[in-house]
Amino acid sequence: MKKIAILGSTGSIGTQTVDILPSIEAEVVALTTNTRIDLLEKQARALQPKMVCAFDETAAKTLKIALADTDIKVLAGMEGLISCAAESGADIVVTAVVGMVGLLPTMAAINAGKDIALANKETLVCAGELVMRAAQEKHVKILPVDSEHSAIFQCAQAAQGNRLEKIILTASGGPFFGKTAEQMRHVSREQALAHPNWSMGAKITIDSATMMNKGLEFIEAMWLYDMAPEDIEIVVHRESIVHSLVEFEDGAVLAQLGLPDMRLPIQYALTYPARVACKVPRLSLAEVGKMTFFAPDYDAFPALSLAKRAAQEKGNMGAVLNGANEAAVGLFLNDKIAFGEIADRVAHALETVPYRKQITLDDVLESDRLAREIARS
């Protein structure tokens, strides 16, 4: 029985992780939420973890009362999140919280020798260098949950020690494919939240609309697979059937295909190297009929170039890109700024926060703080 901690169990990835649990042999030892304590209580009663955490302190107090008749430990805040990651007795930690709030718990889990099923891409964008180094030192596996990175991971198993020459990341293109920056500038929150293929949390859905999500994934792939930015290509694939591809030195290109459903990559991260039956409906290529591919439009989606620039510069620029983006997306979701302003504010933060090549965890936290401040001002 694998012991699993799920950070962010009440979110889109978190609930889908809970959904596939019956397919795998697993015992849940920890669950966390921010404020959705009704759902967390339900999950806790069903799965009987050792501990749970509500990041929000007020929510945690209510949750503690709700679970008073059980012997489940109820924790709060960052400290609680870190305990759930590192001290719950987990073998593997699913990082399904949204945002750079996942960084410290992920680092704590790695330092405690836990494998990571990584959904929380912001962690790698902010501190990929530090996270991958720590994982290597602690002999910890970072197993990708993100569908593109899972596809690359699955294809790369054919490498047999040969070098990957190129990674080709597919992108759905989001709800605004084919529009110009001008046409997109004042789209509404509802329009931006209407993703054509995937149902996900609000933040990543907005990132998909700006295509910052693909920029974040570009950086995520760079760190996960130790690739140079020049060797990572992005291609828009509207149907989200080909989840990504790898190219070898002889020019052979391998892809992983499937219907757009996160439960397969989540499950594979938890059962790797084994494959077990999965609830996800099977792919019928005849039903799909036609698949289309396009070069990305860098003029319409400036977030892509901003992320590529942060990938080239490395150092603290990933943290700046991500911090500014999280703040700007938050402003957009609260109707404070226009859609087109998200990328403007990220660009401004990249220009303004001083560049640091060598970074520590403290530098990452400080760059994140500064970037958010600039993006909000």
Q: CA-CA distance, 97 to 103, in Å (whole number)?
A: 10
- The encoded tokens of residue 355 equal 């560049």
Q: Based on CB atoms, which residue is closest to ligand NDP, 14 or 296?
A: 14
Name the residue number minimizing CB distance to ligand NDP. 11
Count the Cβ atoms, other than its own, within 10 Å of residue 327.
22
Q: Which stretch binds Mg ion (CB under 5 A): 53-61, 142-150, 251-259, 278-286?
A: 142-150
Interacting residues of 285 by C-beta distance below 8 A, sequence separation 6+: none
262 counts as binding ligand NDP under rule CB under 6 A: yes
Q: What minimum distance in Å lies between the beta carbon of 217 and Mg ion?
A: 5
By CB under 6 A, the residues from 1 to 20 that bind ligand NDP are 8, 10-14
Residue count at the site for ligand NDP (CB under 6 A)? 25
Residue 10 binds which of Mg ion, ligand NDP, none (CB < 5-8 A, kind-dependent): ligand NDP
34 counts as binding ligand NDP under rule CB under 6 A: yes
At position 272, the amino acid (one-letter code) is: Y
Residue 119 binds which of Mg ion, ligand NDP, none (CB < 5-8 A, kind-dependent): ligand NDP
Query: DSSP per residue over 293-328, as a string?
Result: -B---TTT-HHHHHHHHHHHH-TTHHHHHHHHHHHH
- Containing H/E element for 117? strand 115-118
Binds ligand NDP by CB under 6 A, chosen from 132, 204, 221, 254: 204
Binds ligand NDP by CB under 6 A, chosen from 67, 117, 184, 200: 200
Residue 97 binds which of ligand NDP, Mg ion, none (CB < 5-8 A, kind-dependent): ligand NDP
Residue 106 half-sphere exposure toward CB, CA atoms < 13 A: 34
Q: CA-CA distance, 163 to 233, in Å (whole number)?
A: 16
Q: What minimum distance in Å lies between the beta carbon of 106 and Mg ion?
A: 18
Q: Which stretch binds Mg ion (CB under 5 A): 58-66, 147-155, 311-319, 346-354?
A: 147-155
220 counts as binding Mg ion under rule CB under 5 A: no
Binds Mg ion by CB under 5 A, chosen from 41, 115, 146, 220: 146
Q: Based on CB atoms, which residue is closest to ligand NDP, 195 or 314?
A: 195
Q: What minimum distance in Å lies between the beta carbon of 147 and Mg ion?
A: 5
Q: Alpha helices of the chain — where are they, by DSSP H? A: 12-20, 37-47, 57-66, 77-86, 103-111, 121-137, 147-156, 181-184, 189-192, 202-210, 212-224, 263-271, 285-288, 302-313, 317-333, 341-352, 361-376
Count the Cβ atoms, other than its own, within 10 Å of residue 361.
15
Residue 260 half-sphere exposure toward CB, CA atoms < 13 A: 15
Q: Based on CB atoms, which residue is closest to ligand NDP, 198 or 248?
A: 198
Q: Based on CB atoms, which residue is closest to Mg ion, 164 or 204?
A: 204
Q: What minimum distance in Å lies between the beta carbon of 356 and ligand NDP?
A: 24
By CB under 6 A, the residues from 38 to 97 that bind ligand NDP are 55, 96-97
Interacting residues of 209 by C-beta distance below 8 A, sequence separation 6+: 174, 175, 176, 187, 192, 193, 195, 339
Residue 198 half-sphere exposure toward CB, CA atoms < 13 A: 30
The structure tokens 């029985």 sit at 1
Binds ligand NDP by CB under 6 A, chosen from 23, 35, 70, 111: 35
Contact positions toward Mg ion, by CB under 5 A? 146-148
Contact positions toward ligand NDP, by CB under 6 A? 8, 10-14, 33-36, 55, 96-98, 101, 119-122, 146, 198, 200-201, 204, 262
